[in-house]
Amino acid sequence: MTMAINLNPNKEKYYNQRGIYYGIAGAFQKALSDFSTAIDINKDYSEAWSNRGFARFNLFDFEGSLKDLSTSIDINPSSAQTYYVRGLVEMQLSMSDCACNDFRKADELGMKGAKEKADKICGQ
């Protein structure tokens, strides 16, 4: 990916993909940097917003994560995974009602495991 970025430094998808690789490797700070660069190139790139929110979640920056995930949802309200992760963040921030709504939405959009999480958080 680094070679691809060097050849074409204005391709947000290259930074996003390298950020995913960094995240898989547990290098969340490097991932955060690449996702931020992808967002700088294209402010409407919902996947990069979501990925940066997930990286921030793993860095225990729950407020920053919530903002990024919410921006991603504003751009693309059909990502079940983003609703699910935002629900996890909201649980960390003691926002149970919001988490309940997001887990229900993630379930509605087809996210596996979201129904169980919603049932546990929201009650049946």
What tens digit of pLDDT does each residue of 64-88 get? 999 999 999 999 999 999 999 999 9
Q: Which residue type sits at 109?
A: L
Spell out the alpha helix ranges (H) of 1-124: 2-7, 12-24, 28-41, 46-58, 62-75, 80-92, 96-108, 114-122
Q: How far is residue 73's CA from residue 83's CA, in Å, rounded to a whole number?
A: 7
**pLDDT value of position 11:** 85
pTM beyond cutoff 0.85:
yes
**pLDDT value of position 1:** 62
- For each of the domains in the chain, give its residue range(s) and CATH number, in order of start: 1-61 (1.25.40.10), 78-124 (no CATH)
How large a percentage of the chain has pLDDT more than 90? 89
Q: How far is residue 124's CA from residue 113's CA, in Å, rounded to a whole number?
A: 15
Q: What is the mean pLDDT of residues 97-106?
A: 97
Q: How far is residue 50's CA from residue 85's CA, in Å, rounded to a whole number?
A: 9
List the structure tokens of 43. Answer: 């402010």
Lowest-pLDDT range, 1-10, 24-33, 40-49, 50-59?
Answer: 1-10
**pLDDT value of position 7:** 65
Phi, psi of 104 (to 5 degrees): -65, -45
